[in-house]
Structure formats: structure tokens, C-alpha cells
Amino acid sequence: MLIAMKTTATREQIEAVKEKIFSLGYTPHVIGGAQRIAIGITGNQGKIDPSHFISMGGVAEAISVSKPFKLVGREFKPDDTEISVNGNLIGGRELTIIAGPCSVENREQIIEMADILTSLGIKYLRGGAFKPRTSPYSFQGLKEEGLVYLEEARSKTGIHIITEVRSEETLPIVAEVADIIQIGARNMQNFALLEAVGGAGKPVLLKRGNSATIEELLMAAEYIAHQGNPHIILCERGIRTFETYTRNTLDLNAIPVIKKLSHLPVIVDPSHGIGIWDGVPPMSMAAIAAGADGLMIEVHSNPESALSDGYQSIKPERLKNLLKKIGLLADIMNRSVNLQTNEVNEKIYTT
Amino acid sequence: MLIAMKTTATREQIEAVKEKIFSLGYTPHVIGGAQRIAIGITGNQGKIDPSHFISMGGVAEAISVSKPFKLVGREFKPDDTEISVNGNLIGGRELTIIAGPCSVENREQIIEMADILTSLGIKYLRGGAFKPRTSPYSFQGLKEEGLVYLEEARSKTGIHIITEVRSEETLPIVAEVADIIQIGARNMQNFALLEAVGGAGKPVLLKRGNSATIEELLMAAEYIAHQGNPHIILCERGIRTFETYTRNTLDLNAIPVIKKLSHLPVIVDPSHGIGIWDGVPPMSMAAIAAGADGLMIEVHSNPESALSDGYQSIKPERLKNLLKKIGLLADIMNRSVNLQTNEVNEKIYTT
Amino acid sequence: MLIAMKTTATREQIEAVKEKIFSLGYTPHVIGGAQRIAIGITGNQGKIDPSHFISMGGVAEAISVSKPFKLVGREFKPDDTEISVNGNLIGGRELTIIAGPCSVENREQIIEMADILTSLGIKYLRGGAFKPRTSPYSFQGLKEEGLVYLEEARSKTGIHIITEVRSEETLPIVAEVADIIQIGARNMQNFALLEAVGGAGKPVLLKRGNSATIEELLMAAEYIAHQGNPHIILCERGIRTFETYTRNTLDLNAIPVIKKLSHLPVIVDPSHGIGIWDGVPPMSMAAIAAGADGLMIEVHSNPESALSDGYQSIKPERLKNLLKKIGLLADIMNRSVNLQTNEVNEKIYTT
Amino acid sequence: MLIAMKTTATREQIEAVKEKIFSLGYTPHVIGGAQRIAIGITGNQGKIDPSHFISMGGVAEAISVSKPFKLVGREFKPDDTEISVNGNLIGGRELTIIAGPCSVENREQIIEMADILTSLGIKYLRGGAFKPRTSPYSFQGLKEEGLVYLEEARSKTGIHIITEVRSEETLPIVAEVADIIQIGARNMQNFALLEAVGGAGKPVLLKRGNSATIEELLMAAEYIAHQGNPHIILCERGIRTFETYTRNTLDLNAIPVIKKLSHLPVIVDPSHGIGIWDGVPPMSMAAIAAGADGLMIEVHSNPESALSDGYQSIKPERLKNLLKKIGLLADIMNRSVNLQTNEVNEKIYTT
């Protein structure tokens, strides 16, 4: 249930509603919208009687919620969520471009990539320090050492860092370095980890599991929100189907569906979504055209020698061309790609 | 194997190569490209010795083909195929927009729709007269009567007709009315029907089966081409996955993959692909952005009362708005949407 | 709706109910059970008012039916259907064993196989004369010539023939030879063909499409039954999933589910279901243990040189061993495998 | 690579081979077979030159391994693994029956269930104290309190406890109570947790993820084995497909496939595999007939009021009948179900 307060509701009236909710044994969640405050209720089994609230001062409506997800649902919060990362908004008008290698491979590589991306105006660097791999014998990432290099890349360039957390145990050190903590597809229903990042105080990028339904993705986000962290970015990265030509089947249907069901921003990872480097640019364009709030793209200066996922990585030059086309597409979508440096924008937008 | 002829090859040299192929017990297929002629060979089991051809007059190269599909593959024919329907090209620079109701429901409905679509500049009307349905108790289409109404809609407006063939038996009457014959998803591996349309002398729109791999789709097209009909339009319309929120999972990955493997045009049916009317516009945009050659969209004046697929049909007004956005997107993609009447273009492109 | 007649209902009372149904514009289907007659109604849109029937003479009950399938559903006909093929019952207490090669390859092969199978007591020979193949360049079967050899195998040994129909056009010649007509997985929703076999006067073995739901399989059977042919054997043969180690994923869950929903017999094709020859015996055992009414197994004397599906075919010796184990399992399941010749039974049941 | 030692190899020769492996920078794994010792090598990238080993004393062969899994593969260890739980062997001739409720709901329930199961001769009680649930608002288990009740159930009846671990953090308390630690399907690729249970010193039951391939399941087991814990029981519990009538699609094909690829025991969870209580007995029979080493079945005295998974739980009486049939089937499979108490065996095997 959701208690929508009047625009004129006072602080005391809001507190009174929260007290009432606590007194019934449930948990209140205050949700600030552009216009007015609403108070979500969780912790109930079955329906709550609206008469508890409807005659209280400042209450406009008691709305029963039909979906299993609450805090992340549009019923609870109709306005789009915008997540601020040092003043840069994810989920607003501006499209978010995240780029970088699959793994942090060594110091030089990640510093060089941060330089290149910064010169293209890109504000977010991805790179895995802890790599979950299907085989215990595959490269598992540089771990703590990789985090040090990411930190250095940020200090040097000011780029924001997004990197994956692999376990509760290493969450503290990842959270210290990451501007955005990534939960990988295989951990989407690692509920202990979801709860832990729910308390980590950093925005979270939550990747859809390769056989997770849209509803399961939203329920996983609900676990994070339920721990008090509403700064969640959903990421569509392809689902597992019978098709074997591509690594996954990028489910762009999920974009309009999630946008209807949830207020959270959604970005798309076309690199895992198709798994073939020359399919990345068309699928990037398709994702933005479908309404995604941004992209996460694997980029590598020398894909042939990448320690992981080289086949799906594009080179920086190709990214530069793609950004140009995305800039044009953004205009049509009433979005923008405010790449950071004027010099680059100039280079990119003039041909 | 593919015998690439020199640009200077004479008619006699081409005939000599064909004779040689026949003499080996195989079948030659002359494939005219923009620059030069190539001659494909089918009918062999295993590899053919290139030395049969390499020293013949006019022969540039004998290229062995690594894919199971031949006539529809880019290895055989590198240039994009453009299919002419009364002078309108499908697969060229211009995007193809096909629209109309799922089923022909009655005379008034289909004539009215042809009028509306024509006024929007749309050149292709879809509408099923023979409807394959999961249940024998569901509406199976108006059948012959429906074909009569489609014919009348064309006579009145000049719009081209695309309609589905359900069986070999009814193919002749469908082929008489249809400008493009549609093979539905459930019949994608009805090989007898594929062979029959291969001889029907009309362009064919071949829908991907809901669990067909991309390779199986291309092999199904190969059945048609093998019967001498190269005028094939492939249609991605969603595949069956575990996700139940949407009717199907639209596999836009298939667009860049097919474009690499085959020279045939590919259009996308977002209506079946997502199965939810308000998801159709974003998925239409995504399809074009991914590189599709056109769209097939279900449109109905009164979706609530449609005899089939109402939930995924959009109203004409919404189509009009969508066309406007597609026009803008086409520019970025170096494509165009030359909607037919100037008056409409004007209406559409000025807001 | 289903009108259950009293056990004492007279022929006239039954006729009166049928007349009433016709007069309402619907179609009656008389269904004979062990105890009493019921009359199914199809052709209605929406619910029928039971008061039309409930006070008529001889009527016990008017039962509304909740499932989309009717004639093939247990609600319409609670008793198991047993199909007689020259006096041998499929779907009764006795398990049905069908065996033979994927394709009829030549006269000697099929005659030899009929001899071997007959010597093992097996009553049904499978073998494709018309083979639907993914590629137009693959062996498509011996066609009419193959039918001649099947006919000869039957004349010589008395074994029953089950062979696939590929198209409406060739149905008459297939129906003349086949004791049971097979509809292949790719044609499960070729509704024109389903309707045609519905009128062909022979039992039909209907294979589940590789991405068909159980409900779609039952609706496909309903098409056949709706044309007046109730002699339908359903066949589970594996569905398409993400797993690539096996050719398909044999869905044995379907056995108890179909048994609950439908009165039709269900047999299992473990050869296509797993696609690996040494997986065929365990999956055969599993199918019978799950409650299947029989098996269809690919057998080849020389699998390495089979023209199709050799990798999933077992040799006759292995079949013989398997039959022994199935005989023991049948006892536990309160079933039997009455292999025809005493001599063989003896060989098989004594070790 | 696998170094197979001669049967006559001395302890010193074995040590020398291990030293050699260490000196090359790799890790040796001594694998004791019934006949002779082999030493597996992991840690290499690419092929190892066999000439390092082939002339060493006591070495019979240096076998290169073609599969990505090593320690859990049959190439490394041809003999079936038998896991001892207080002297009871899992994976040997005797079938393992695990039964119990989805969740520990309260003290009385779990003690009563332990009593019932013990009286049926069952040696393993399942019951979740920590329950991973799709929704944060669903019952998450009694947690520590549930472990106390499980401990009490064991003390009282001597039954062995199998319960799920949900996180690395709670592993120590789970490992203290559990005789077998369960890794749930959602955590199959939670590699941090796999590594942690690899060091927990208790046998592990590893459930296949709902979209995990067989190879991925084996690789997940490899993570555990790689940490030094070879006591792994694999569990097939159904995969996610397009079929919606059943909760999952039980993939019994996986049984013969895993048996060929791996030496580990495999048990089947038919309750999750079909998700419908009356489908559990037939699928239990099918699993054993396919070659499974045992079953894990959800049993509840009052399924209608179960806090989780009631719809797929069977009552104890039904389990008793099923055990009777499984006992008969075991005989055919050359297996046994040595249920513990004579009194019960008597009741069960006499009808």
C-alpha cells in the first residue's frame, strides 16, 4: 500500500502516518516526488485496510499496489529516478556512457584507457578487478591490485569507476574504490550480496541474470532498495536462449517494459548482449532508440590480446564513431550526450 | 562452390562454365552482381575440386563456400538484394513500411484501413485472409472472401497487398491477389510450402519460426531460392524464451547477424515481437536503429474489438507519430522513408 | 460444454440432445465411454446456458469445460483412449514399441530391419520415405520408392508401418501404405496438414514441436480430432532449450501432465529426445517409468553409415537388451510388453 | 594433464612426480582409484609437454585431458565417487533418499517430520533454515532458530541433516549443523560461496542453476573440488524453458550425460523439477530409471498450509507408497534402497 500525502501535508502529518504504520507492525518508506510526498508500506502479508489512513490529516489517498515489487515500482514512485554520481545524473535527460575493458589487466592498460575515454568525453570507466569466471582455471582478475590501478586511473583523469563486487567479504574494499558498484549477472539472486550492497552507501548497477525474468530483476532491485539504498541502475545484458550464433539474446523488449513498471534508470550492455564486436554499434543504437538511459560498452585497445571477452570488445576509434551517431540519435529521442570536454564534442559533432 | 567470373568474361565463357557444372552432375546458379557475374554451384556432396574451373576462360576465382546456405549467403552474392514490387524497392536505401490489421475482418474495415494508410503515404497493406490459429475454434479468417476485399482495397487505393498463405492448396488463389506472399512463423519449416512458393512467381516474406535459429531461417530461405525464387524478404518477429511478460522476445541481434551472413533484406515485426501495443513504437525505432530494412506493424482503428491480436495493434494516429520519428531516424541511418504523397509528407514532417 | 447422458439414456434421447445442439448453431460430438455416453459441444463462442439441456430426457449433467481443448481433454472423456491397429491396442495395458531407421535408405535395409524387429517381437516399424530436412541439399528420402519398400516389408513380415507425411499433396499415397501416419515436429502447427490427416482415416502419431507447449500440442491434436479422427497418439520427442550437449531436452514432465489433461496415449521418442545413442536406453527406461504408453526408437544395423541421424541410432543387439529391461519395468508399472513371438519372449525373459 | 602411475609405483615415485609438477609451477592432485593412483595437474595455461613425466619412475602414462573440467571429470578419475556420511555411502549401489519440508517452519513440524521419515527408514532430512526467496517480503526461513531445531531433530532420531547455505557469512553455523551442505540453484555460480564450501570440510550437494548447462554445473563443482573438497553430490532440479505448465523442465537427459562425463554422484529433485505434487511420484521413478543415484523429495504433513512450496510437496503416506515402487525399480537397476529399520522394510516390501 502507498499513502499519497497532499501537497499541503505538514511534517507532523507525515510523521503521524509513519507512526501509524509502525504501530500496525509494518515499515514505512518515505518517497519524495517532484510534487508531493508518498509513504510506501512494506512488511504486510495480504491487504491492508485503507481505513486506517484515509481520514488522517494530510492524506490524499491510500493506494493499493498490485505488483510484487514496491519500492522500485512506478506505482510507489511515478517520477523517474535520477542518480547523482558527483553531480552527474544517471537516468535524467543525459545518456550515460560507460566504457572500458572487461578486466583490469595491468597498470598501463587501465591508465591508458582512462586517458583515451576521458579524451572522448566519457565519464565512467568500467573494468573488473574481481572477475567471476565459469572455470576456476581462468583469469580471475588482479583483485586488490586491480583496485589500486582503478583508483590511480581516477586520480589521474577524474573519470568515475564502476567495478564488480564478487562477494560480501570483498565488498568493503570494492566499495571504497567504486563510484558505482556492479552486481554481475550470476549474482543477481545472491540475496546476501544484494542486502550487503543495500547498505554500502554507493550507487549499484544491477545486471539482469541470464535467465532472469524482468520481474525477478525488479525483485532483486527490491532487495537492495529494501536495505535503504534507492540508487539502483538496472542493466539489460542479454538472456540465454536457444540461439547459439550470438553469445546471448539482447532483450530490448525489456526497456519499454521496465520503463513502464519501474522508475529506475536502465542501461544496456550490448557487448555481452550480442557477444560479437561488430554487432556492438548497431545494438548500441538500437538500445538508445528503444529508450535506454545509457550504455555500458567493452572497449579494448588491442582486443586480440585481451585476457577476457576480447571478441566482443571494440577499439577506441570505433567507439568514437559510434558516439557521433549516438549524439545524433539522442537529439531525436529528446536526450543528450554531454560528453565532457568541448574539444572532443567539437571533434565528434563536426564531420 | 562459387565461380567468380572476370568483369571481362564473355557470354560464351559463362555458358561454358555452366556446361562444365552440368557435366559434373551439379546445378549452376547465375548470380548477377553490380560489377560482375558469379556462378554458384549446388547439388554437390562434399568439396568440389577447383581445378575443374580455374583455368577456364573468363574465370577469376573458384571460391569454396563455408556456410550451409549458399544462394542466400553473402559468400555467393556480396551485394545487397533489392526486391522490386511494381518499381518500389525493398532492401535498398528506402525503408519499407508495411501496416494493417492482423486479420481481414470485413469489407469496410480493410477498405477504410487501405485509405488511411495510403493517406499516410504507406505503400504496403498487410491483412490475413487465411489465419493459422492455435485453436481450431478461433476465428480462422474470412478466407476467399477476405482475398476479394484485399483485391478491392488495392484497386481502390493502389496499395500493395501482403497476405499469408496457409497451405499449398490455397497458394494459387493467394498468389493471385498478393503482391508479396507471407509465410507465417509456424510454417517456416513447412518445406513443401516453401518449395511451392519458390515456384509461385511472387516475392515472399518469410517469418522466422518462434524457435528457429538464424541459420535455420536462412536454410528455409534457401529452400525457396533453390526453387528459383530469389525474391525473399526475411522477417524477425520474436522468438520464444522463458520471459512471459512479453509475447515473444524480439531478437534484434538477428539484424546485424543476418546482414553479415546474407544479402537478403530483413524487416522486423515489432507487434508480434513484443506483443504489447505501447511497446511497438520503441521497438520499431530500435529495429531501424539496428539496421533493419523496414517494419511490419499491426494497425487497427479499434483495437479493443479486433478479432485477433488487438492487444498488440496500434491506432493510426499513433502510427502517424511513429512515422515522423522514423523519418528522422532514417536520416541518421543514411536511409529514407519516402512516403508516397507529398501532402502527407508535408503533414508528417512539419509539426 | 459436455452433456453427460444417464446410463439409461435411450437412443432417441441422445438424438434429441444432438438436434438441440444443432438448433443452437453448434456442433455435437458423441463420445462413447465405458459406462455411458457423453455429447461434447464445440463451435460456441463464450459460455452456453446449461438450462437448454438440463431438463431434457436422459440428461444427467451439463458440465462446463474449463480448458481450451475439448475433444482431446479428460473433461470430455475421462477414460483412456485405446487405439486399435489391426487388433493391437495402443494406449491400453500393453506398452507399444516402435523401432526402425530414421530413413528408408534402400530395399535391402528396410526388409532386413523388418525381419530383425519381427524376430524381436516388435510390431511397428518406423522409417521415413519423405524426410523433412533443415537443408534443401540434404537427403530428402526415397519418397514414393521408399513407400514401396515399406509396403514390401509389411507384406513379408506382417509388421505395421509408421511413416511421416510431409505435405497435403503426398498424404494420399502415404496414407495408403501407413498403418499409422506420423506428423513430424516441424509440422505440428501446419494446420492444413492436421486437418487433412483428420480426414485420412488412419491413426495419427503427432510429434510435439520443438518449442511447442503442452497446451499447443493438445490444441494441434484437437485440430485432428475436430475433423473426425479421434485416433491420435501424442509423441514427446524433446524440446529446444539452451542446453547444447544434447540434441534436445526430453521433457518427461510432459507425460504425467498430459495424462492428467488428456485421454490420448503418449509415447516417447528418446532418440531425438537426447540425440546420443548411448543415452537412448536410460531415457527409454525413464520414459516408461514416468508413465509413457510406449517408445519410438531409432535402430540401425550400421549407424555409422546411416544417411540421417546415425549418431542417435542404436544397434539391434542393444535394442534386444533394452527390451529385456523394459519387460521387467513393465511389470512394476502394471503394464506389459507382449512381444509377438514366443520364441523371442523366451529368449528375452530368460537370462 | 593426468599422470597415471603404474600399479607398482612406490610412494617415493609418486612424491617425485608431485615435486616435478610443483617445480613446473602447477598444482598436483593425487587421485586414488580402485586399482592405481593417478596425479592430476591443474594451474596450466595451454598444453603441458608429456616428456616431462613419461620417463619418470613409476609413471604409466601422461594423458592429456580434453574437457574443461578436470578434478570432477571421468578422464581424471574413471571410478564412481562414493561419499560417506557417517558410514552411509552416497553414489554407491544404494540409492539415497532425502526427504523433508522445503522450510523449517517450527520445532514441532521438523521433529515430527524427522520421526516420520525415520520410521520409513529414511536417513536424510532436508529442511531450509536460510531460504533464498525471489521477494524480500517472502518468508526467509527461521535462520539460526531453524538450525537449532534441525540439530534437535538429529539428536532425537539420528537422521542426517541437509540444509542450504545462503552466504559465506552464515556458512560456519550452517556447516556446524549440516551433515551435507546444500548450495541452491541461484548460488550455483556464486563462486565465492563455492570456494568457501570447498574449505568447509563437509559434503556438498550442489544444485544445478535453472539456466546452467551441464558443463557449467561441472565447472561449478570444479570450483569446490579445486579448494580440496571432493565430496560433491550433483543435483538436477529442473531447468527454465518456455513451458509454463510445469514450474521447471526436469532435464533427465542430464543423468546419463553427467554419468559419462563425471564420476560424481547425481541425485534428482523431482519436486522442483516438475513443481506439481502429483507429478512427483512418476518423475521420481523416471529419475531412478534414468540412472540417478538418489532423490531429494519435498514432503509435508499438511502441504496446504506450508510456508513455501506447498504445491509441490507430497504427504508422508504418498512417499511411503512411492518408496515401495522405488524398491522394486531398484532391483531392476541393480541398485538397492536399504531403508534403515527392518520393521519398515517389512511393511514396505510386503503388500
| pLDDT digits 0-9 by tens, A229-252 | 999 999 999 999 999 999 999 999
CB contact under 8 A, C241 and A242: yes
Is residue C34 very low, low, confident or very high in pLDDT (cuts 50, 70, 90)?
A: low
pLDDT of residue D342: 41
pLDDT of residue B351: 31
Closest Cβ opposite residue C211 in set B137, B168, B240: B240
Q: Tens digit of pLDDT for each residue in D166-213?
A: 999 999 999 999 999 999 999 999 999 999 999 999 999 999 999 999
pLDDT of residue A340: 55
pLDDT of residue C48: 87
Q: Is A70 helix (H, G, I), strand (E, B) or coil?
A: coil
Question: Which chains have 3 or more CB–CB distances shorter than 8 Å to chain D?
Answer: A, B, C
pLDDT of residue B105: 94
CB contact under 8 A, C253 and D246: yes
pLDDT of residue B106: 96
CB contact under 8 A, B241 and D244: no
Residue A346, pLDDT > 60, answer no
Q: Position of cell 513380415?
A: C157
Q: How far apart (Å, rounded) are the C-alpha atoms in residues A195 and A168?
A: 9
Is C240 touching A (CB cutoff 8 A)? yes
pLDDT of residue D340: 55
The partner residues of A183 in beta bridges, in order of sequence, read: A165, A206
- Mean pLDDT for chain C overall: 92
Q: Which residue of A has its CA nearest to D43?
A: A137
Burial class of residue A226, CB neighbours in 10 A (0-12, 13-18, 19+)? buried
What integer is the mean pLDDT of A93-110?
A: 96
Question: Which chains have 3 or more CB–CB distances shorter than 8 Å to chain C?
Answer: A, B, D
CB contact under 8 A, A283 and B274: no
Q: Which chain C residues contact residue B70 at CB under 8 A?
A: 137
pLDDT of residue A33: 65
> Which of A40, A46, A87 has its CA nearest to residue A228?
A40
Is C328 touching B (CB cutoff 8 A)? no
Is C237 touching B (CB cutoff 8 A)? no
What integer is the mean pLDDT of B31-44?
A: 78
Q: Tens digit of pLDDT for each residue in A296-325?
A: 999 999 998 888 888 999 999 999 999 999
pLDDT exceeding 70 applies to what percent of chain A? Answer: 96
Q: Which chain B residues contact residue D241 at CB under 8 A?
A: 242
Is A156 touching C (CB cutoff 8 A)? no
**What angle (nearest 5°) sits at the alpha carbon of residue D252, between those of residues D247 and D253?**
125
More confident residue, C332 or B45: C332
Q: Which chain A residues contact residue D47 at CB under 8 A?
A: none
Q: Which chain D residues contact residue A223 at CB under 8 A?
A: 136
Q: Which chain D residues contact residue B242 at CB under 8 A?
A: 211, 240-242
b/e per residue, B99-110, with b = 16+ CB within 10 A? bbbbbbbeeebb
CATH number of B83-349: 3.20.20.70
pLDDT of residue D343: 46
Is D240 touching B (CB cutoff 8 A)? yes
Residue A122, pLDDT > 60, answer yes
pLDDT of residue B21: 92
What integer is the mean pLDDT of B223-234?
A: 95
> Which of B341, C249, A131, B268 has its CA nearest to residue D255?
C249
Q: Tens digit of pLDDT for each residue in D114-149?
A: 999 999 999 999 999 999 999 888 888 999 999 999
Cell of A180: 558505482
Is D245 touching B (CB cutoff 8 A)? no
pLDDT of residue B345: 41
Is residue D34 very low, low, confident or very high in pLDDT (cuts 50, 70, 90)?
A: low
Is D214 touching A (CB cutoff 8 A)? no
Q: Which chain B residues contact residue A332 at CB under 8 A?
A: 325, 328-329, 332
Is C242 touching A (CB cutoff 8 A)? yes
Q: How far apart (Å, rounded) are the C-alpha atoms in residues B304 and B150?
A: 22
Is residue C31 very low, low, confident or very high in pLDDT (cuts 50, 70, 90)?
A: confident
Q: From the CB of residue D162, how many other CB atoms can be counted at a distance below 10 Å?
A: 25
Question: A49 to chain D nearest CA, in Å?
Answer: 18
Q: From the CB of residue A268, how many other CB atoms can be counted at a distance below 10 Å?
A: 30
Backbone phi, psi, residue C183, to 5°: -105, 120
Residue B322, pLDDT > 90, answer yes
More confident residue, B224 or D41: B224
Q: Which chain D residues contact residue A171 at CB under 8 A?
A: none
Residue B91, pLDDT > 90, answer yes
CATH topology for D2-63 is Alpha-Beta Plaits (3.30.70)
Q: Tens digit of pLDDT for each residue in C166-193?
A: 999 999 999 999 999 999 999 999 999 9
Is residue B37 very low, low, confident or very high in pLDDT (cuts 50, 70, 90)?
A: confident
Ramachandran quadrant class, C169 (left: phi over 0; alpha: psi -120 to 50; beta: rest): alpha
Is B137 touching D (CB cutoff 8 A)? no
CB B299, CB B113: distance < 8 Å: yes
Q: Tens digit of pLDDT for each residue in B280-301?
A: 999 999 999 999 999 999 999 9
Q: How far apart (Å, rounded) are the C-alpha atoms in residues B289 and B329?
A: 7
Is B172 touching C (CB cutoff 8 A)? no
Is B137 touching C (CB cutoff 8 A)? yes
pLDDT of residue B61: 85
What integer is the mean pLDDT of D249-270?
A: 98
Q: Tens digit of pLDDT for each residue in B48-58?
A: 888 899 899 99
What integer is the mean pLDDT of D53-75?
A: 88
- Same topology, domains D2-63 and D83-349? Answer is no
Is residue C76 very low, low, confident or very high in pLDDT (cuts 50, 70, 90)?
A: confident
Q: Tens digit of pLDDT for each residue in A153-203?
A: 999 999 999 999 999 999 999 999 999 999 999 999 999 999 999 999 999
Residue type (1 letter), D178: A
What integer is the mean pLDDT of D301-318?
A: 89
Cell of A183: 552486481
Closest Cβ opposite residue B213 in set A243, A325, A332: A243
What integer is the mean pLDDT of C107-124?
A: 97
Q: How far apart (Å, rounded) are the C-alpha atoms in residues C90 and C81?
A: 8
For residue A211, the 8-state DSSP code is T
Q: Which chain A residues contact residue D168 at CB under 8 A?
A: 167-169, 192
> Regarding beta strands A2-5 and A37-42, do their DSSP bridges make them parallel or antiparallel, or are they unpaired?
antiparallel
pLDDT exceeding 70 applies to what percent of chain B? Answer: 96
Most B-contacting residue of A218, A246, A252 (CB-CB within 10 A), to test interface: A252
Residue C338, pLDDT > 80, answer no
pLDDT of residue A345: 40
Q: Return residues 39-68 of D near A (CB < 8 Å).
A: 42-43, 68
pLDDT of residue D67: 84
Q: What is the DSSP string of D77-108?
A: --SPP-EEETTEEESSSBPEEEEE-SB---HH
Q: Can you give the pTM of this predicted structure?
A: 0.89
Residue C127, pLDDT > 50, answer yes
Residue B348, pLDDT > 60, answer no
pLDDT of residue A42: 83
Q: Tens digit of pLDDT for each residue in A241-283?
A: 999 999 999 999 999 999 999 999 999 999 999 999 999 999 9
Q: Tens digit of pLDDT for each residue in B112-157?
A: 999 999 999 999 999 999 999 998 888 889 999 999 999 999 999 9
Q: What is the DSSP string of B95-129?
A: PEEEEE-SB---HHHHHHHHHHHHHTT--EEE-BS
Q: Which residue of D has its CA nearest to C217?
A: D243
Number of C/D CB contacts below 8 angstroms equals: 123
Q: Which chain B residues contact residue D211 at CB under 8 A?
A: 242
Closest Cβ opposite residue B283 in set A246, A250, A290: A290
Q: From the CB of residue D111, how many other CB atoms can be counted at a distance below 10 Å?
A: 17
Residue C344, pLDDT > 90, answer no
Most B-contacting residue of D211, D241, D242 (CB-CB within 10 A), to test interface: D242
Question: What is the ipTM metric for this complex?
Answer: 0.88
Residue type (1 letter), D112: E
pLDDT of residue D350: 34
CB contact under 8 A, C226 and B186: no
CB A172, CB A179: distance < 8 Å: no
Question: C66 to chain A nearest CA, in Å?
Answer: 26
What integer is the mean pLDDT of D281-309?
A: 94
Domain range summary for chain D, segments of one domain joined by +: 2-63, 83-349
Is A216 touching B (CB cutoff 8 A)? no
Q: Which residue of D has its CA nearest to B239?
A: D242
- Mean pLDDT for chain A overall: 92
Q: Tens digit of pLDDT for each residue in C225-268?
A: 999 899 999 999 999 999 999 999 999 999 999 999 999 999 99
Burial class of residue D259, CB neighbours in 10 A (0-12, 13-18, 19+)? buried
Q: From the CB of residue A139, how many other CB atoms can be counted at a distance below 10 Å?
A: 15
